[in-house]
Amino acid sequence: MGSSSSSYAPKSIYLDVDGKVQKVVFSRHCSPCDIKELLCSSSNIPRNTAIMMVDPEGALVSIDPTMPTNSPSSLYKVVPLSTGQLGDKEDMFQNVLSQVAEQFSRAFRINELKTEVTNRLAMLEKRVELEGLKVVEIEKCKNDLKKLRDEMTSRGGGRVNCPCKYNFSDDGKKVTPRRDVPNYPKYTLSQETVEALKKPTFDVWHWEHNEMLSCLEYMYHDLGLVKEFNMNPITLKRWLLAIQENYRNNPFHNFRHCFCVSQMMYGMIHLCNLQEKLTLTDMGILMTAAVCHDLDHPGYNNTYQINARTELAVRYNDISPLENHHCAVAFQILSLPECNIFANVDLEAFKQIRQGIITLILATDMARHGEILDSFKQKVDNFDFTNEEHVTCLKMVLIKCCDISNEVRPTEVAEPWVDCLLEEYFMQSDREKSEGLPVAPFMDRDKVTKPTAQIGFIKFVLIPMFETVMKLFPQIEEIMVQPLRDSRDHYEELKQIDDAMTEVE
């Protein structure tokens, strides 16, 4: 036992580092490379530098675990080697390495991998430079990993960690604002784009996320909201980035859908001349509710949440669990000083804004559709813009219109959204089947088609609601209501063709 323990005893040597004694201790089982790194570090020499070690007489000392020990009175010195000192042996070694590398390059296509790694490294270095390795970025990485785990789990079919079960134990770590100046480029919108943004015909598919962020930023400036609420423009950028980062990559309920709804709201404000009829506070509530209305949507609707007894359903007692969650995430983001676009608003005004946003987001629960529309119908014939209850009801109907307004858009813009929605429906119904939960026929891939999915929704939900709004704003008939009627006719024709094909078969 004595010899065994002594063989593991550490070894000590003493160095002369800038005239001071530096003790270095290492295991006798360290590799020469490990010892060289230790010596470099102890002598304030960059790692991976070629070095040699000499004794007080200038004799070379081998750098390995068997090197002779010394004392503080007989110090070794570590000397970095210049390129010239490496000599012919290193040149020969480098030549051999080059030949080996060339062989590996041909065998395993390392050059392609090297290019990819170099590019990714450059991106990471840029990110490190811009973000400064701040805590928020570390949290973002954790959130990215969590999202990836959620997606992998959802593909596996297990319900225990289904992605719609938001983990409240994170205490807000999902929200990842940027504390520095955001790095998405500033786009100068052309006059053509500025005008197109005000219309329901705007094509939302031609824009990258950074461009959509710039468009949303422009809307807030154009409507006078930045000036009215004394928003810090940098805070507005950070807030928009935090919003984007807290929309998941669902087929339908994603950041592009958020932009769609917000752009339609902006368009309706202009089309209906709401700036002349409502206050700037109302404008701020309408736009901010539109931007936040589906934050952190998990891709599985309220019916699934309630039937599967998810954490959201339990938390909100089966009462609009998703919409309550969207509100909670929205104000969780606004609670961060660096993202609070309403930081310069007095307390009473903020209470009014907060209540208004909550009311509108909760109104997007389609389970309340009949109740909200009936209430508006009772007011529309004698509508009073000075009546707070009337105005609140109008705002609820406006956000509902914008939320489900895809069919108002041109066919080539609207139809891809149907495919996205059906894909999300099918993901849910497949999960419900695997978990033994009830499946809605309109979400079942074995029972629904695009025409059957759309005809009833357009005829009995969209057209009646938009025609009711048309009583108050007749100008929307040509640009919003008529496209809905055309879309209904389009899908009815498709259904007739499908029925004829089925009959022939």
Which residues are part of a known binding site for AMP?
Answer: 253-257, 294, 403, 454
325 catalytic? Reply is no
Angle of helix 411-435 relative to helix 482-504, nearest 10 degrees, comes to 60
**Measured distance CA(208)–CA(214) in Å, rounded:** 10
According to DSSP H, which parts of 8-108 are helical?
Answer: 32-42, 83-108
Alpha carbon separation from 171 to 166, 168, 274, 328 (Å, rounded): 11, 6, 38, 12
Q: Which residues are annotated as a binding site?
A: 253-257, 293-294, 403, 454
CB 67 within 8 A of CB 13: yes
Specify the DSSP element, H or E, that contains 463. helix 463-472
Which residues are known binding-site members for Zn(2+)?
Answer: 257, 293-294, 403
Dist. CA 48–CA 82, nearest whole Å: 13
Q: For residues 310 and 321, is the Cβ–Cβ distance under 8 A?
A: yes
Q: How many CA atoms lie within 13 A of 202 on its CB side?
A: 25
Signed CA dihedral, 406, 412, 416, 419: sign only = positive
> What 8-state DSSP symbol labels residue 340?
-
Is the CB of residue 341 less than 8 Å from the CB of residue 291?
A: no
Active-site residue (options: 253, 297, 326, 490): 253
Nearest Cα to Cα of residue 240 among 222, 262, 214: 214
- DSSP letter for each residue of 197-247: TTSTT--GGG--HHHHHHHHHHHHHHTTHHHHTT--HHHHHHHHHHHHHTS
Residues marked active site are found at 253
